[in-house]
């Protein structure tokens, strides 16, 4: 498996953003795995980190244009190129005691 930073992903940023190194963005300074996590609570943490990001709108637009398969982009969770409100946990739901 090859690990890439988001700045190395082809088309990850619009050209205007790619020209400038961005060390102030949460996806560049934090744990990149958080933005592609399996656990819903981790994805919610990633979404929260995107809140104050100065390129949030551009990030989401670029991800949608690329039909990004999964992950948090621009403060939204993408699944098969579509924005979803929440990711369900893996496995069967717990039974609720009556």
* Three-state DSSP state, 5: coil
27 assigned ligand-binding residue = yes
59 assigned ligand-binding residue = yes
> Which of 96, 40, 24 lies closest to 72, judged by CA?
40
23 assigned ligand-binding residue = no
For every residue of 43-74, DSSP letters joined together read HHHHHHHHTT-TTHHHHHHHHHHTT--EEEET
54 assigned ligand-binding residue = no
Q: What is the dihedral of CA 88, 43, 32, 69, to 10 degrees?
A: 50
Binding residues: 27, 50, 53, 59
Annotated binding site for [4Fe-4S] cluster: 27, 50, 53, 59
């Amino acid at each position: 498996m090859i690990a890439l930073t988001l700045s190395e992903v082809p088309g990850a940023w619009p050209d205007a953003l790619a020209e400038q190194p961005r060390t102030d963005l949460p996806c560049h300074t934090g744990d990149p795995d958080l933005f592609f996590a399996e656990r819903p609570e981790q994805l919610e943490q990633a979404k929260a980190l995107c809140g104050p990001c100065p390129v949030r709108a551009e990030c989401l637009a670029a991800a949608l244009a690329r039909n990004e398969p999964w992950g948090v982009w621009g403060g939204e969770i993408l699944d098969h190129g579509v924005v979803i409100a929440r990711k369900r946990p893996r496995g069967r739901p717990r039974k609720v005691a009556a």
